[in-house]
Amino acid sequence: MTGDVDFPELREAVRRLTDDVLIPAEQQMVADGQVSEQSLAALRDLGLFGMTLPHEHGGLGLGMEEQVRLTFEFTRASAVYRSHLSTTFGLVSRVLVDFGTPEQQQTWLPRFATGEATAAFALTEEAAGSDATALTTVARRTADGYRISGSKRYITNGHTASVLMVFAVVPEHGITAFLVPRPAAGLSARLPSRMNGHAENPVAYVELDDVWAPDAAVVGGPGEGMRLALTGINHARTHVAATAVGQGTRLLQEATRHAATREQFGAPLAELGTVQATLGRSLAELAAARELTLACARAWDRGAPDRHQISAAKLYATEMVGQLADRAVQVLGGAGIVGDSPVPRMWRDVRALRIYEGASEIHERNLARHLVALDRHGLPLWTG
């Protein structure tokens, strides 16, 4: 499936990294309120910042199925590790691979691949959440490029990234993507006072006050921004589905271990019918999400990613892990609320998966519209 990467070996290395480095570092990460430089270095050393990039740009040259299988592994550890990588290897890298100029690719992609440079994807605004077309950030034409002004919010890695991909409205053309390297005069970021989930990698509010961008900073051409954004977002949606599977795997293992060892009424919880129903149903749903995500990844690798298939995988997997996390808390009882178990932290973390990269309701709406369109045209639901 890959060029010169030995994939089974790489997956085994990612599995060991997850079990031996990332999971053991979680308690310290929580205490520090951030991911340690040591953990980030371990992710960089395995080349995971370049996981989605082709060899020619210094990446691992993996197909989507391989990316998804690695994500199943390292997202058994805190989802916060992935959110450090995600905006660099997913959203921004993918847009630059598909639409960047050779100069933009040469400047950024090899540095992204090593993790030396990182990127943020600055789309969301106060008035433009699910309706991303309602952007008010504006980029006005000047003699020597553009001047960008506006406010972005909820931007993952927006306070640390070496470069931001900023989406702004060019009045004559529409939504346009710009690369804004840091530092830039007029660019600032601040953190929210509180994060309820993903606490160890907070999102940022980003201000752009008359930030200058040269013509060479435009990605893909003026007015092409939404098309570009959706390319990155569809890629990220597939990875978020895989993240839900990774998180679900760990949550189910944590719940199982507790149920097998905690005794009440003279027997392990795991011997109670209701607990067995909880664990058994969770495993079946987790397996279904895993297969749906793999099927979606294979469609990418065949060169035909269907956006409805992506929506279905993202919707199902993230809703599944929300329910699974809630059940895991219930199986743990008081230990799901009090103390150092990872389960309640993961319960809060996975809640965000149903909101970003298209909230569940947006995917439901897209899928319902798809059904109606198929019906109107007399097309079958399944082919093949």
Ligand X SMILES: Cc1cc2nc3c(=O)[nH]c(=O)nc-3n(C[C@H](O)[C@H](O)[C@H](O)COP(=O)(O)OP(=O)(O)OC[C@H]3O[C@@H](n4cnc5c(N)ncnc54)[C@H](O)[C@@H]3O)c2cc1C
Q: 158 phi and psi, to 5 degrees?
A: -65, -20
Q: Please, is 334 exposed, middle or buried when counting C-beta atoms within 10 Å of its C-beta (0-12, 13-18, 19+)?
A: exposed
Give 40 or 79: the residue with its C-beta nearer to ligand X.
79
Phi, psi of 149 (to 5 degrees): -135, 140
336, 343 contact by CB (below 8 A): yes
The C-alpha atoms of residue 53 and residue 89 are separated, in whole angstroms, by: 7
Residue closer to ligand X (CB basis): 98 or 364? 364
Instruction: State in angstroms the smallest separation of the CB of 35 from ligand X.
Output: 15
- Rank residues 39 and 87 by Cβ distance to ligand X and give the closer one: 87
Q: Are 294 and 328 contacting, i.e. CB atoms less than 8 angstroms apart?
A: no
Question: Nearest-5° angle of CA 40, CA 202, CA 161?
Answer: 60
Least separation in angstroms between residue 333's CB and ligand X is 28
Minimum CB separation of residue 130 from ligand X in Å reads: 3
Tell the smallest beta-carbon distance from residue 358 to ligand X (Å): 7
Enumerate residues 6+ apart whose C-beta is below 8 A from 80. 29, 35, 198, 199, 200, 201, 349
Residue ranges that bind ligand X, judged by CB under 6 A: 87, 121-124, 129-130, 154-156, 198, 203, 352, 355-356, 359, 361-362, 365
Shortest gap between Cβ of 154 and ligand X (angstroms)? 4
Q: Which is nearer to ligand X, 259 or 315 (CB)?
A: 315
Rank residues 106 and 130 by Cβ distance to ligand X and give the closer one.
130
**Closest CB to ligand X among residues 155, 208:** 155
To ligand X, the closest distance from the beta carbon of 171 in angstroms equals 21
Distance (Å, whole) CA 58 – CA 198:
29
Taking CA atoms, 343 is separated from 321, 330, 337, 346, in Å, by 12, 10, 9, 5
